[in-house]
Amino acid sequence: MEFNRIISINDPLFKSMHELMKKVFPPEEVLEFDLWKEPLEDPGIRVFVAVHNGDVLGATEYRYYEDFNVAMTDFTIISQPGLGIGAFLAQKRLADLQSLAAENGKTLTGMFAEIYDPYQVENYEFGGVKPMDPYVRREVLSHLGYKRLDFTYVHPSWNNDGEAVTGLDLGFLPMTENLYELEADLIVHFLKRYYSVLPNKPQAWLEMIEKLETKEKVALLPL
């Protein structure tokens, strides 16, 4: 299996990846095809696909913030079971991020991820792909060491229509065993940076940020 980076919407592998995204994710979570042009050309956004016998069987997008020394996993897609796609993507991604942190003269602090909570919303189908089932994914992420940040999380819809997307937790994977909370200031600055591309922020998101700005720390709790 190959771990190939995509840096252009003209890459034939990107079309396959985008079709895979539309198959497994809700529509409000998928950026339109043409709007991917600038993100793919951004050196800070890393999009890789798992390719087996010429076919795109999985994908992951993530980024590393040098000034925060944290990463964000935007998404991970696994198209079918029994091939070790998830483990392959996770291992390759972590190795790449650790290398980026080392180039920055640091050891990676951890990695954010938005994690679906099927106990809040039970109608996520993800194209009927069982490895993408939110119950399965949540348990896998828990085994990997992800924690959930202790606040009610919403995010702006990627349709940029000002709607709030609920039914998720903001998770964090600490790279040290003794990290039980995060600075609220880090979370606020990260979220503002991450969603700066979407000008239409829902009121619920703005209120969430305002509440976080009144805190010093946010606890990391089990998934």
Task: Indicate the Cα dihedral angle 89, 51, 75, 20, nearest 10°.
Answer: -150
Fold for the domain defined by 2-222? Aminopeptidase (3.40.630)
In the block, tokens 């909370």 appear at: 181
Section 78-82 average pLDDT: 88
Model confidence at 138, pLDDT cuts 50, 70, 90, reads confident
pLDDT exceeds 90 at position 27:
no
What's residue 28's pLDDT? 72
CA-CA distance, 14 to 18, in Å (whole number)?
A: 6
Amino acid at the residue 61 = E
pLDDT exceeds 90 at position 192:
yes
Instruction: Break the chain into its structural domains and give their ranges.
Output: 2-222
| Mean pLDDT score across all residues of the chain | 91
81-85 long-range contacts, Cβ below 8 Å, gap at least 24? Answer: 81/130, 81/131, 83/1, 83/52, 83/57, 84/1, 85/1, 85/50, 85/57, 85/58, 85/131
In the block, tokens 């819809």 appear at: 157
pLDDT tens-digit map of 162-185: 999 998 999 999 998 889 999 999
Model confidence at 129, pLDDT cuts 50, 70, 90, reads low
Of the chain, the percentage scoring pLDDT greater than 90 comes to: 69
What's residue 120's pLDDT? 76
Model confidence at 26, pLDDT cuts 50, 70, 90, reads confident
pLDDT exceeds 90 at position 126:
no
DSSP annotation of 150: S
CA-CA distance, 182 to 151, in Å (whole number)?
A: 12
| Beta strands at 217-222 and 153-156: parallel, antiparallel or unpaired | unpaired
Q: Which helix (H) or strand (E) is 17 found in, with range?
A: helix 12-24
Q: Which residue has the higher pLDDT, 168 or 132?
A: 168
pLDDT exceeds 90 at position 81:
no
CA dihedral over 199, 202, 206, 209, signed as positive or negative: negative
Q: How far is CA 77 from the centre of its chain?
A: 10
> Any idea how long the chain is?
223
DSSP annotation of 28: G
What's residue 6's pLDDT? 97
pTM value? 0.87
